[in-house]
Amino acid sequence: MSTERTIRLTGRTRVLAVFGCPVEHSLSPPMHNAAIAALGLDYVYVPFRVELDDLPKAFDGLRAMRFAGANLTIPLKQRALELVDGLTDNARRIGSVNTLYWDDGRLMGDSTDGEGFTRSLEVLRPARPERALVLGAGGSARAVCFALADAGVPVAIANRTRARAEELAAAVGPLADVMGLDEAGLRKASSEADLVVNCTSVGMIPEPDASPMPVGSLRPGQFVYDLVYQPRETLLLRQAAESGATAANGIKMLVWQGAASFQRWTGYWPDTSVMEKAID
């Protein structure tokens, strides 16, 4: 099996990294190292625990040691905006960097979350959504809302802190509006949406028995995309199954945003099934 090939380190091996805090539970090292092994490339992907205040020093190290690229995860994605040599338009408007790559000697910051969301949704549910309900207004919600609006899909945004939803809707433009997070508001928005995306951390370990949607608010014909992937089966996914909706957890988005980063670093589009098998 190609996924069982090992990585052989050489004097020329190029280092990729993920910086985060915590980083110990990241699925990115096995996912990327499986992709590297399957392609037989001379790279290795290594996790580094980096505290927020140490991020400038980590950038110095990455530059001095000529790392080939890196991912950034919680809580570093916003701080990185001011530490790169340049930003892609996408990272600038989302306000978040999850990928560092080199372009003509400049360390660039990009966000591949929106691309990961769009590409994985095309695989999971090829029909274009008519209208989406997005729960949340943090980093992943920003990536998802811009990606949906770019595809011409109207988006209703519901967030615990309403002001953040209003700010996001204003940034996204006329295709976005704001819904209340109260039960009546959620039921109404859900009845009008054929796509529901959970971009909050509600339902994530250590609180797997919480759901962002009221009981009985989902319906057949709807696709429910929970970006949470720890646990693999959230309460929201069980609610979707009970309501006759189809649903998926965040594993595929994780894989496809990783594949997009991998391409920035190596020039190769990796085998996403190899990456998924390495972490599922």
SS3 172: helix
Q: Are strands 155-158 and 176-179 parallel, antiparallel or unpaired?
A: parallel
Taking the least distance from each CB to ligand NAP, the nearer of 44 and 255 is 255
Q: Which amino acid is at 181?
A: L
The site string for ligand NAP over 212-241 (x = CB under 6 A, - otherwise) reads ---------------xxx------------
Closer residue to ligand NAP in complex, CB, 5/187: 187
Q: Which amino acid is at 120?
A: S
Site string for ligand NAP, 174-213 (x = CB under 6 A): -------------------------xxxx-x---------
Q: Does 250 bind ligand NAP (CB under 6 A)?
A: yes
For 232, phi then psi, to 5°, come to -65, -40
Q: DSSP secondary structure string, 174-211?
A: TTEEEE-SSHHHHHHHHHH-SEEEE-SSTT-TT-TT--
Instruction: Please give the backbone phi and psi of residue 93, each rounded to the nearest 5 degrees, phi first.
Output: -75, -30
Active-site position among 77, 188, 252, 277 = 77
Nearest to ligand NAP of 161, 191 (CB atom):
161
User: Among all residues, whose Cβ is closest to ligand NAP?
Assistant: 138
Choices 79-87, 121-129, 139-147, 216-224 (CB under 6 A): range interacting with ligand NAP: 139-147
Piece of the chain touching ligand NAP by CB under 6 A; list 17-25, 171-179, 231-239, 252-260 = 252-260
Which residue of 69, 129, 139, 270 would you call a contact of ligand NAP, by CB under 6 A? Answer: 139
Q: How many residues bind ligand NAP (CB under 6 A)?
A: 24
Indicate the residue type of 76.
L
Q: Is residue 77 flagged as an active site residue?
A: yes
In terms of CB distance, is 61 or 95 closer to ligand NAP?
A: 95
* Residues paired with residue 99 on neighbouring β-strands, in sequence order: 71, 110
138 near ligand NAP (CB under 6 A)? yes
Using alpha carbons, select from 125, 101, 104 the residue that is nearest to residue 112. Answer: 101
Gyration radius (Cα) of the chain, Å: 19
Residue of 20, 29, 109, 136 that binds ligand NAP (CB under 6 A): 136
- Output 107 or 248, the one with its CB closest to ligand NAP: 248
Pair 233, 172: CB distance under 8 Å? no
Phi/psi of residue 43, nearest 5 degrees:
-130, 160
Does 254 help bind ligand NAP (rule: CB under 6 A)?
yes
Question: Which residue is listed with tokens 């992937």?
Answer: 229
Do 199 and 176 meet the contact criterion of CB atoms below 8 Å apart? no
Residue 137 touches ligand NAP, criterion: CB under 6 A: yes
CA angle, residues 209, 253, 232, in degrees to nearest 5: 30
- State the residues that interact with ligand NAP by CB under 6 A: 113, 116, 136-141, 159-161, 164, 199-202, 204, 227-229, 250, 253-254, 257
Instruction: Give the residue numbers annotated as catalytic, written as ranges.
Output: 77
